Amino acid sequence: MALTRSVFLNWLRIAGRELEANKGLLTQLDAAIGDADHGINMDRGFSKILEQLPTLEDHDIGGLLKSAGMALVSSVGGAAGPLYGTFFLRAGASVEGRWEIGPNDLARLLREGVRGVAERGKAAPGAKTMLDALSPAVDALEAALGSGADIALALRECVAAADKGMKDTIPLVATKGRASYLGERSAGHQDPGATSSYLILRALAEALESHD
């Protein structure tokens, strides 16, 4: 199955809607272990992306994702802007010049995005960050595609793994980012970055389903 540019447009639109709807939840989660601004920042960043979409008609999938990354870097405060910006910039660079891609290309662009986040944040899964949702999610997507699953099923596996990874951050002690300042007191709280990552991946699965 080919994933056209319209799938990725829809992904950004749905992600923007989901982050706006969950702005309060993300802010509440961040209030417990961060600066209480993650929901506001993510909503601002995706609002900026949605605002510029009408000007990107001549952009292919790679250009669209890279423009989204630049919007996040320029409008989102704290660590989230550079990290999510890097995710979309690296993902876009992996499919530059493409107007449609296949399932394995999707897995590759997400993997490149995750690598970018890990390098930029100098983090790995287990540190109570967005990587705790993103990394197992991409692992699950690759495994499902490798076993012959179609892209819709593979993305459902991806989202389920992100959901589990997000919830598995609750008992973790943060060793990276603002939450790490709390030490043991960061345990018992769900990571806001892992939560917004889950929402963004869930939006991707919804974009594909609605495209069908």
**CATH at 195:** 1.25.40.340
> Collapsing DSSP states into helix, strand and coil, what is residue 205?
helix
Q: Which two tokens stand for residue 98?
A: 């493409």
How many Å separate Cα 157 from the centre of its chain?
15
What is the structure's pLDDT at 161? 98
Give the pair of three-digit tokens for residue 9. Answer: 């447009």
pLDDT at residue 94, as a whole number = 97
Tokens for 61, please give them.
């999938």
Q: What is the pLDDT of residue 169?
A: 97
CA 99, CA 2: separation in Å to the nearest integer?
Answer: 10
In angstroms, the first-to-last Cα distance of the chain is 10
What pLDDT sits at residue 212? 52
What is the domain range of residue 120? 3-211
CA distances from 43 to 46, 124, 175 (A): 5, 25, 26
Residue that has been written with the tokens 């989204």 in this structure? 68
91, two tokens: 């993902």
pLDDT of residue 77: 77
Question: Which of these, 113, 133, 139, 137, lies nearest to 194 by C-alpha position?
Answer: 133
Tell me what pLDDT residue 152 has: 95
Pairwise CA distance, residues 6 & 150, whole Å: 19
Amino acid occupying residue 202: R
Number of domains in the chain: 1
* C-beta neighbour count of 39 within 10 angstroms: 23
* Residues in the chain, pLDDT under 70: 211-212
Query: For the whole model, what pTM was predicted?
Result: 0.96
Cα separation values, 193 from 38, 79, 165, 199, Å: 8, 10, 11, 10
pLDDT value of position 51: 96
